[in-house]
Amino acid sequence: TGRCVVAVDGPSGSGKSTVSRRLATQLAARYLDTGAMYRAVTWAVLRSGVDLTDPVAVTKVATEADLVIGTDPAGYPVSVDGVGVEAAIRGPEVTGAVSAVSAVPAVRALLVARQRDMIAAAGRIVVEGRDIGSVVAPDADLKVYLTASADARARRRSAEDASDVTATAADLARRDRLDSTRAADPLRQAPDAVELDTTELGIDEVVARLRELLNSKG
Task: Please report whether residue 147 would count as binding ligand C5P according to CB under 6 A.
Answer: no
Report in angstroms how near the CB of residue 192 gets to ligand C5P at its nearest: 18
Instruction: Kindly tell me which of 18 and 48 has the beta carbon lying closer to ligand C5P.
Output: 18
Among the candidate windows 48-56, 69-77, 96-104, 145-153, which touches ligand C5P by CB under 6 A? 96-104
Site for ligand C5P in 33-52 (CB under 6 A): 34-35, 38-39
25: which residues sit within 8 A by CB, 6+ positions away?
31, 73, 74
102: which residues sit within 8 A by CB, 6+ positions away?
38, 42, 108, 179, 182
Q: Is 180 annotated as a binding residue?
A: no
Instruction: Decide: 89 and 78 in contact? Cβ < 8 Å.
Output: yes
Q: What sign has the CA pseudo-torsion 207, 212, 213, 217?
A: positive
Q: What is the spatial distance between Cα 64 and Cα 23, in angstroms, rounded to a whole number?
A: 33
Q: What is the spatial distance between Cα 130 and Cα 148, in angstroms, rounded to a whole number?
A: 15
Task: Please report whether residue 71 would count as binding ligand C5P according to CB under 6 A.
Answer: no
Q: Is 18 annotated as a binding residue?
A: yes
Count residues near ligand C5P (CB under 6 A): 13
Task: Please report whether residue 30 would count as binding ligand C5P according to CB under 6 A.
Answer: no
Among the candidate windows 21-29, 53-61, 129-137, 198-206, which touches ligand C5P by CB under 6 A? 129-137
Neighbours of 68 (CB within 10 A): 13
Report in angstroms how near the CB of residue 218 gets to ligand C5P at its nearest: 27
Strands 30-33 and 124-129 come out as parallel
Interacting residues with ligand C5P (CB under 6 A) = 12, 34-35, 38-39, 98-99, 102, 129-131, 175, 179
Residue set of the binding site for ATP: 10-18
